[in-house]
Structures are given as C-alpha cells and as structure tokens.
Amino acid sequence: MAASLMFNSCLSNSDYLSSGYISAVNSIAFTKSHLKFLNDRLATLEPRQILQWCTVTLPNLYQTTAFGLTGLVTIDMLSTLQDPPPLIFLDTLHHFQETLLLIEKIKARYPQISLNIYKPNGLDTTFEFNKLYGERLWEKDEALYDYTVKVEPARRAYRELGVKAVLTGRRKSQGGARSNLDIIEIDDTGLVKVNPFANWSFRQVYDYIREFKVPYNELSDQGYRSIGDWHSTVTVKDDEDERAGRWKGQVKTECGLHENYFKMKLERLGLTK
C-alpha cells in the first residue's frame, strides 16, 4: 500500500518527476494488478510526463526506433532531459536510402543521444545477406526473414546492452493489433515495453513534427505514413489506416519485433506446425 500511495503522489506532483525519490519504484514487481495500476495512472499523463516518469523510474531504459514520426517526436522530447536514454536501431539492410539519410540528420541534431545500431548477426551489407540467405528471403520464408533481421538482432541488443525496458512509438490510432494498446506492457521475455504516445493521433504527431521542426523522412511527404523495409512498404490513401502500407495485401501487421518472441523462434527453427 505504501508503494501505491508513493506512486500516486509522484504522479500528482511533477516535482517528484525530476527527483530521485520515485526511483524507489524499481523494487516493485510488475504483477498484473500492478500493471493495471500503472496503466490507469499513466493514462492521465501527457507523453512528455510519461517519458519523464520512465527516465527516473525504469532502470536500463532504451528507446527502440526505426525513426518513424512518433519515434522522432519521442527523441525530440527526450533530448530536453538531462540524461536521455540511448537509442537502438535495427538495420535490416533493407531500409530505404531516405531512412539512412534521416539517421545522419538525427545524429547531427541530437549529438547528446547515443545510437546503437544492430544488423543481422555477422552481416554488414545487403550483398552479404543475399549471399547467405538468397535474394528476396521475405518471399521465400517470411518467419525466417523477420527473425533474422528484427527479432534476433533485437534480443542480441537487449542482452549485450543489458536492456530492461524500452520506449516504443506504437499508438492505438495506428489500428490493427495496436488498437487496444496499453501504455506499459511486459512481453514474454520479461522486457518492459512503454508506449508513451499510445493515446495520440497521427495529427498530433504530425503537428508536433511541424511545430518543432523535427527532421523527418522525406518519404512521408510522398504518401508513406508508416515506413519500414523498402520491399514491404507502399503509399497509403488518406482514408486508409496509417499502417495500411505495410505488408499490403497480407494479414500480417507486425514485423515480429512485437510478436511473441518464442513463437517466432520456434517458427524460425521449423518446430511449429
């Protein structure tokens, strides 16, 4: 009860967000009831407040990003903090050139934020990837592709960096599996995932980018509202869901990074039906 009272007090008093006092919450186990408590409280806060809470509460916190619009807003907000958490970018070796150019702009704009780049294990180029797996692996074995370019590199990053919690750019308004998104989640490996912008709309994200002149992917001005690998990203119409351009014509809506990790691993090893 004391811990709950302390947490409630911290949320209602912004002064605590900039102090070390709230860090005592670290010792509390994330039970289902505790997660509900956290989500109920965090839902009353603005994203900037949630980010502040995360940086003083969650140990070994990182931001995972593919430099989409919401991720860029997150980076910009975090840049105003004294010790912004580091970034993790998964270079699938199949990103648009515009995405890679954006990364250089972000590094120049926010030199105080460190960036960790992880690629498919032991590979540095698309040529090396194709030599090992053959061309267009995503068409031949989608599960293996997702595991190789996203799931395995992410878990390797989390292990090597000692990641305990990550910030994501997922939002309910993106539709699909994200429609019922909570602000804070625990995945099957015990990793804490925080979605600070879960309740924001695309318009709110877009307006922030414009207002604060945050660098963004040039493809966004060409009808690409959600940008991933070049082979699985197309433009969308104004009346379509934001992520309708990802894996067009497929039931799939997630890359595997936010799916069940162990299920992905079993599929990659051919151990599921």
What are 29-38's pLDDT values in tens digits?
Answer: 578 898 999 9
Tokens of residue 151, six digits: 């799931």
**Is residue 26 predicted with pLDDT exceeding 70?**
no
pLDDT for 151 equals 93
Mean pLDDT of the chain: 84
What is the C-alpha separation between 117 and 154, in angstroms, rounded? 10
The residues pairing with 116 across neighbouring beta strands, listed in sequence order, are 88
Instruction: Tell me the catalytic residues.
Output: 255
pLDDT for 18 equals 42
What are 182-228's pLDDT values in tens digits?
Answer: 999 998 888 999 999 999 999 999 999 999 999 999 999 998 888 99
The CATH H-level superfamily of 47-269 is HUPs (3.40.50.620)
Higher-confidence residue: 89 or 223? Answer: 89
Given a contact cutoff of 8 angstroms between Cβ atoms, the answer to whether 224 and 233 are in contact is: yes
Output the DSSP codes for 182-235.
Answer: -SEEE-TTS-EEE-TTTT--HHHHHHHHHHTT----GGGGGT-SS--BGGGB--
Instruction: For residue 32, give Cα distances in angstroms to 36, 87, 157, 180, 260.
Output: 6, 28, 27, 16, 18
Tokens of residue 38, six digits: 């956290």
Higher-confidence residue: 248 or 142? Answer: 142
pTM of the entire structure? 0.82
pLDDT for 246 equals 46
- DSSP 8-state secondary structure symbol assigned to residue 149: I
pLDDT for 99 equals 98
Confidence of residue 7 (pLDDT cuts 50, 70, 90): very low
Domain ranges of the chain: 47-269
Confidence of residue 57 (pLDDT cuts 50, 70, 90): very high
Higher-confidence residue: 243 or 168? Answer: 168
Given a contact cutoff of 8 angstroms between Cβ atoms, the answer to whether 246 and 178 are in contact is: no
pLDDT for 222 equals 92
Confidence of residue 178 (pLDDT cuts 50, 70, 90): confident
